Amino acid sequence: MTLPDALRAFGKFSFGPLARKFGTFVEPHDDPVSFLASVDSVIHVEVRKLWPEAVTPKFVYEEIGTDSMRIEYRSARKLCHFMEGLLEGVADHFGYAVEYRQSQCQHDGADACVFDVAFVEEAQSAA
C-alpha cells in the first residue's frame, strides 16, 4: 500500500469515531458542505482550546453551490491525503457520495492544497 493510500484509508476510518465522540459538533448539520464549513472556524478552534499542543491545519473555503465547494488546505504536515479520507468519511456519514480533485498540492511545491469537492445525496433505500 502506498503512503497516500494508507493515509486516505486512515482518514476515512477516523471520521466515524470522531463524529461519535464529538457528536455535538456534527449534529447541528444536515449536509456535508455546511458541516465542513464549520471545521476551521468552530471545531478546530475548540480542539485547540481543549488541547493547546494540538496542531490543526488552516482551511479557506469557497462554497460553489449547495453541494460543492473549494477548500484550500494549508499545513506544514502536508496531510492532504489524510484529509481526502476524511472527506470520504464525512460524505458517508451524511449519506452522500463524494468526488474530489486536487488542482494543486503542497507536495508539488504549491503554497496550499486546493480541493474541488462535489457531493451527491444518495437515494434513500426504499425500505
Cell (9 digits) for 76: 506544514
Q: Is 79 in the site for ligand HEM (CB under 6 A)?
A: yes
Nearest of 110, 43, 114 to residue 80 by alpha carbon: 114
Q: From the CB of 9, what's the least distance to ligand HEM, in Å?
A: 14
Among 82, 91, 98, 114, binds ligand HEM (CB under 6 A): 82
- Give 39's DSSP letter: I
Closest CB to ligand HEM among residues 76, 126: 76
Q: Is 110 in the site for ligand HEM (CB under 6 A)?
A: no
Q: From the CB of 89, what's the least distance to ligand HEM, in Å?
A: 8
Please state, in angstroms and rounded to a whole number, the distance separating the CA atoms of residues 69 and 50: 29
3-state secondary structure of 62: strand
Among 22, 61, 96, 100, binds ligand HEM (CB under 6 A): 22
Q: Is 38 in the site for ligand HEM (CB under 6 A)?
A: no
Residue 115 class from Cβ within 10 Å (0-12 exposed, 13-18 middle, 19+ buried)?
buried
Contact of 61 with 36, CB cutoff 8 Å: yes
Q: Is 39 in the site for ligand HEM (CB under 6 A)?
A: yes
Residues at the site binding ligand HEM, with contacts judged by CB under 6 A: 18-19, 22, 25-26, 36, 39, 43-44, 47, 54-57, 75, 77, 79, 82-83, 86-87, 90
